[in-house]
Amino acid sequence: MDKRKNFIPIITVLIILILPVIFSFSEIYATETGETHDLGSELPLWSAIPFVGILLSIAVFPLVAPHFWHHHFPKISAAWALIFAAPFLFIYQGQAFHEILHIYLLDYFPFIILLWGLYTIAGGIHIKGTMRGTPIVNVLIIFIGTMLASWVGTTGAAMIMIRPILKANQDRKHKVHLIVFFIFLVANIGGSLTPLGDPPLFLGFLHGVSFFWTLSLFPNMIFCVFVLLILLYIWDSYLYRQEGIKPDTTTEKEPIRIEGAFNFLLLLGVVVGVLFSGMVHLPEISVFGIHVPLQNWVRDFWIILMGILSLRLTSKATRAANEFTWFPIKEVAYLFAGIFMTIIPALAILKAGEKGALAILIKFVETPNDFFWVTGILSSFLDNAPTYLTFFNTALGKLGLSEDMIRTAFAAGTIEAQYPSFISLLTGISLGAVFMGANTYIGNAPNFMVKSIAEESGINMPSFFGYMIKYSIPILIPLFLLQTLIFS
């Protein structure tokens, strides 16, 4: 019976996808052949209630009904998705079906495939040896992960380094603060320096921003990194002394070794696949009117291949030593399936700019600091990639520029001289989208995965709001204010 229950979320997702075909198949191509609606300007702000509902469910249920949530979160996610999808499909029919397919084919499935690939491959890398979770060791592990993040992505770096820090601190009493700072730095801020680090920067690369321009964000990034690492060292040192841990002189120290090191080559393969999809332009393939570039299909199948190779070539003993399970990636897949469905009206309204229900907010942003804070706050709760793109286009519009103009200037190396105002706005947008993904568990995909892995290892992580109230708001918001004042 339990096995059959496991199929309920899968069946529900299939119903979500099949339902529009049943009653509106004749209007699937309405966006091409019939009347279309400007969804961003038509949808009211309250159409985002299901999105708020799923966020509140993630925040509240683990607190008030943890057992129920652990066993039924896929159904709750699917329920919120249906609450939005049913009326949306009924009212907008073919166009709604088009929007749903669009976000799943172009955003959700590539998102999950990339996460699955990185999670699977990184799960085959096991760092052996004696590592004691002293304050200096913990700072060093997180610093290494932070530096890795810009080159193998925040997800890749987080999946490689989360198990070493858990292993090093397995005998520590206080661990939550370590995981929180790990999320701050490895899963977010560390991905600031290249388009490989975080999806919004890669989106900027696809729209004409030079690959190496993001290195100019280094002063802002390293300032935040060192402030947070100093704070972590002070905090962890205090707790370490409180625990009264004494050096272990009886156990023989085992040298640090890496098992499954060939998986680093597979991670490099994933990076190459992502770069390929951004630099090569192949014909598009139409799926129910959704035009998906062929290079995207190649990238996704390539990532799946890298993951399968990792599963085939990595020994079961290595994965067992890593305490590797599929639960964290399944949790992310189920919850974000609902989030991506319910986020449709919020993103449409945002993309509508001054025509949508958030017109006042769009009109408000003028200065680089405005772009930093508005992009960042929205990226804390919405998908930071489309949020970045929205304000990227807003900045172009406000300055009377086009994508071709800035693409040409970047290619010629004259962007700073020709369009200094745009560079200032772009800096604010980029930093906001990357840095403030650390504000919530859903601000960036690896946040939730790190939380899930930590909980599987027995760490009682704070709730959705607990994370914000206890950690991100009192620590990150003052830091970002200070960073704004210093670099303005």
- Res 23: pLDDT: 39
pLDDT tens digits along 119-159: 898 888 887 777 787 899 999 999 999 999 988 888 888 98
- Res 343: pLDDT: 83
Indicate the burial class of 244 (C-beta count within 10 angstroms; 0-12, 13-18, 19 or more): exposed
Other C-beta atoms closer than 10 Å to the C-beta of 26 total 10
* Range 36-56 average pLDDT: 84
Hey, what amino acid is at 467?
Answer: Y
Establish if 10 belongs to a structural domain: no
- Res 238: pLDDT: 93
Query: 10-19, 205-214, 335-344 — which is least confidently predicted?
Result: 10-19
Indicate the burial class of 312 (C-beta count within 10 angstroms; 0-12, 13-18, 19 or more): exposed
- Res 468: pLDDT: 94
Establish if 165 belongs to a structural domain: yes
- Res 252: pLDDT: 63
User: Do 401 and 190 contact (CB within 8 A), yes or no?
Assistant: no
Higher local confidence (pLDDT), 90 or 480: 480
Establish if 455 belongs to a structural domain: yes
Using the predicted structure, report yes or no on whether residue 1 has a pLDDT greater than 50.
no
Rg (alpha carbons) of the chain, rounded to whole number? 23
* Range 401-419 average pLDDT: 87
**How far apart, in whole angstroms, are the C-alpha atoms of residue 352 and residue 344?**
12
- Res 251: pLDDT: 59
Measuring CA to CA, which residue among 171, 163, 214 is closest to residue 189?
A: 214
Establish if 415 belongs to a structural domain: yes
Using the predicted structure, report yes or no on whether residue 265 has a pLDDT greater than 70.
yes
Measure Cα distances from 302 to 150, 255, 311 in Å: 21, 35, 14
- Res 352: pLDDT: 76
Using the predicted structure, report yes or no on whether residue 234 has a pLDDT greater than 90.
yes
Establish if 414 belongs to a structural domain: yes
Using the predicted structure, report yes or no on whether residue 22 has a pLDDT greater than 70.
no
* Range 466-479 average pLDDT: 95
- Res 125: pLDDT: 84
Higher local confidence (pLDDT), 235 or 242: 235
Using the predicted structure, report yes or no on whether residue 29 has a pLDDT greater than 70.
no
- Res 146: pLDDT: 96
- Res 33: pLDDT: 42
Establish if 169 belongs to a structural domain: yes
Establish if 342 belongs to a structural domain: no
Establish if 60 belongs to a structural domain: no
User: Do 201 and 214 contact (CB within 8 A), yes or no?
Assistant: yes
Structural domain of residue 398, as residue ranges?
Answer: 124-260+314-323+365-487
Using the predicted structure, report yes or no on whether residue 15 has a pLDDT greater than 70.
no
How many separate domains does the chain show? 1
- Res 35: pLDDT: 60
pTM flag (> 0.85) = no
* Range 369-379 average pLDDT: 92
- Res 442: pLDDT: 82
**How far apart, in whole angstroms, are the C-alpha atoms of residue 461 and residue 464?**
9
C-alpha torsion 183→188→189→191, nearest 10: 130
Confidence class for position 395, pLDDT limits 50, 70, 90: confident
Token pair, residue 82, equals 């249906």
